[in-house]
Chain A
Amino acid sequence: MLVDMYSKKVFNMAYQFSGSYQEAEDLTQDIFFKLYHQLAKYDFEKNFTAWLLTLVKNYLIDMYRRTKWEKRQRDDFDKHLHAVSGTDNPESDLQEGENKKILWQGLNQLSSDIRMAIVLKEIQGKKYEEVAEILGLPVGTVKSRINRGRLQLAKILHDKRGKIHGL
C-alpha cells in the first residue's frame, strides 16, 4: 500500500533533486528501506505525507553531502521528461522547451538546501507552509531560500539564453 501511494512521489522528488534516473531508483529503494525501519517512530497525530517527505529530504541531503552530486552530470532533460508542452504556438513551445532544459541543468548549480526548497515549492507545487513543515524551518527562511533560488535560476536563464541566441 505504501508503495502504491508514495513510490511515484518519492521517486520524482529523488529524480528532480539528483537529476539522474538511475540514481533516483537506487535512492528510492534506500528510502523505502529506511521508511520501513522508521515506521515505528511515526507519530500518528502528525501528517504522514509531510513526515515521509521530511525523511526523504533528510536522506537526499545526507547522501548529497556524502557523495557530492554537484560534480556529476544531470540526465539530459529529454531522456525522461518531455520538453514540448504542446500548445498552438510552436515558437513559444520551442522557447519553453529550451527554458526547461536550461533550468533542469541549472538546478545542479544551486546549493542542496536551496535546490530542495525549489524542488518542493516550484516543481512539486507545494505551499510555503508545507515546504516549511517538510524542511523544519520557519516560513520566512523558506521564502528567503526560494527567493535566492529563483534569482540564481533567472540569472542562469539569462546567461544561457544569451549564449543560445548569440547575444
Chain B
Amino acid sequence: MVCEKIQDLLSPYLDGELTPEAKAEVDAHLSSCRECAELLSLLRMATDSLTAFPDVEPSPDLTAKLYAVPARKKKFRFSLDFLVKPSLQPVLTAATVLLVIFSFYMFGPYKKDIDKSVNLQIHRGYSQIERLYAKAGSVTDSLSATAENFLVSLKNINPLGNNEE
C-alpha cells in the first residue's frame, strides 16, 4: 500500500512538483525500498529517452504536395464521409430495419401467405366501401322521397279550410 502511494508520487517527484514534506517522504521510502527506487530509475530513463527523440525531416515531395493543397481544395472532391456522420445514424438504422423486414418478406417462406392475407384485407376493405356507398345511395333515395312527400303535403294543405268542392 505504501509503495502504491509512493509510485503515484514518482511522476510529480521527477517533475519537481512535490512539496518539501512529500519529497522528504518519497526520499525516505526510496532509500529503503529497492523496487520503488528501480521504478524511479526506469521512469527517469523513459522520460530522458523520449525527450531525446529527434525531429524528423518531412520529404521534399511532401512539402511540394502541401504547397499544392490550397489548389486541391478548390476542386470538388467526392467523399462518402457523410455516411459515417452520427446525425445520419438513426436514419441508416431505420433504413436497415426496413430493409431486413422487406428481405424477410421477399425471400422468406411466407411470401404467398402474406400476399394472400394482404389481398384478402384489400378485398374486404373494398367490399365494405361498396356496401357503405350503397347504403349512402339508399339513404339519399329515401331522403329525396321524403322531401317529395313533404312538398306534396305542403301543396295539399289548405290553411283557410275552404273546400273548393
Q: Residues on A close to B: CB < 8 A?
A: 3, 7-8, 11-12, 15-16, 21, 25, 28-29, 32-33, 36-37, 66, 80-82, 85, 96, 99-100, 103-104, 118, 122-123, 125, 143, 146-147, 150-151, 153-155, 157-158
Q: Between A and B, how many residue pairs show CB distances below 8 Å?
A: 93
Chain B 44-78 residues near chain A, CB threshold 8 A: 45-47, 49-59, 62-63, 65-67, 69-70, 72-73
Q: Which secondary structure dominates chain A's binding surface? A: helix
Q: State whether A154 and B56 are in contact (beta carbons under 8 Å apart), knowing that A29-B62, A32-B66 are contacts in the complex.
A: no
**Residues from chain A with Cβ under 8 Å of B14 in the complex:** 150
Known pairs A81-B56, A125-B51, A143-B11; list 18 more (Cβ under 8 Å): A11-B58, A15-B56, A21-B56, A25-B59, A25-B62, A28-B62, A28-B66, A32-B66, A36-B70, A81-B53, A82-B54, A100-B49, A100-B53, A103-B49, A118-B50, A123-B50, A154-B46, A158-B38
Q: Do residues A37 and B46 form an inter-chain contact, with CB atoms below 8 A?
A: no
A106: nearest chain-B partner, CB-CB: B46
CB distance from A81 to the nearest CB of B (A): 6
CB distance from B39 to the nearest CB of A (A): 6
The answer to whether the Cβ of B43 comes within 8 Å of any Cβ in the partner chain is yes
Q: Residues on B close to A: CB < 8 A?
A: 7-8, 11-12, 14, 38-39, 42-43, 45-47, 49-59, 62-63, 65-67, 69-70, 72-73, 84
Q: State whether A158 and B42 are in contact (beta carbons under 8 Å apart), knowing that A85-B52, A147-B11 are contacts in the complex.
A: yes
